[in-house]
Amino acid sequence: MPGSTPASCMPQWPKDVGIIAMEVYFPSQFVDQTELEEFDGVSSGKYTIGLGQARMGFCSDREDINSLCLTVVQRLMEKNRLGFDSIGRLEVGTETIIDKSKSVKTVIMQLFEDSGNTDVEGIDTTNACYGGTAALFNAVNWVESSSWDGRYALVVAGDIAVYASGSARPTGGAGAVAMLVGPDAPLALERGLRGTHMKHAYDFYKPDMASEYPVVDGKQSIECYLSALDRCYAVYRNKIHAQWQRAGVEKSFSLEDFGFLAFHSPYCKLVQKSLARLMLNDFLMCPKPNTQSGPFAGLEAFRDIKPEDTYFDRDVEKAFMKASAELFEKKTKSSLLISNQNGNMYTPSVYGCLASLIAQHTPQQLAGQRVGVFSYGSGLAATLYSVSVTQDHTPGSPLDKLVSSLCDLKARLDSRRKVSPSVFSDNMKLREETHHLASYVPRGSVEELFPGTWYLTRVDDKHRREYARCANIDDFPQRQRNSNSSTEHIANPATKMPCVPASTASAGDAIRNGDH
Annotated binding site: 221, 269, 273
Whole-number Å distance between alpha carbons of 335 and 46 = 22
Q: How open is the CA angle 442-443-444, to the nearest 5 degrees? A: 100
For 357-361, the CB contacts below 8 A with 24+ separation are 357/260, 357/262, 358/22, 358/402, 358/403, 358/406, 359/403, 359/406, 359/407, 359/408, 359/409, 359/410, 360/334, 360/410, 361/334, 361/403
DSSP H helices, 247-331, are 268-285, 314-323, 325-331
Which listed residue (129, 224, 353, 499) is catalytic?
A: 129
Ramachandran area for residue 439 (φ above 0: left; ψ -120 to 50: alpha; else beta): left
516 catalytic residue (yes or no)? no
Three-class SS of residue 313?
A: coil
Q: Which secondary structure element, helix H or strand E, spans residue 389, and what is its range?
A: strand 381-389
Binding residues for CoA: 221, 269, 273
Which listed residue (95, 212, 317, 448) is catalytic?
A: 95
Contact 52, 267 (CB under 8 A): yes
264 catalytic residue (yes or no)? yes
407 catalytic residue (yes or no)? no
Q: How does DSSP classify residue 332?
A: T
Contact 155, 133 (CB under 8 A): no
Ramachandran area for residue 177 (φ above 0: left; ψ -120 to 50: alpha; else beta): beta
Q: Is 152 exposed, middle or buried (0-12, 13-18, 19+ CB in 10 A)?
A: buried
Whole-number Å distance between alpha carbons of 435 and 463 = 11
For residue 382, which amino acid is it? Answer: A
Which listed residue (91, 224, 264, 268) is catalytic?
A: 264
Interhelix angle 314-323/268-285, nearest 10 degrees? 90
Beta strands in 116-259 (DSSP E): 124-125, 152-161, 173-182, 187-198, 204-205, 215-216
Contact 61, 444 (CB under 8 A): yes
Q: Please identify every residue annotated as catalytic.
A: 95, 129, 264
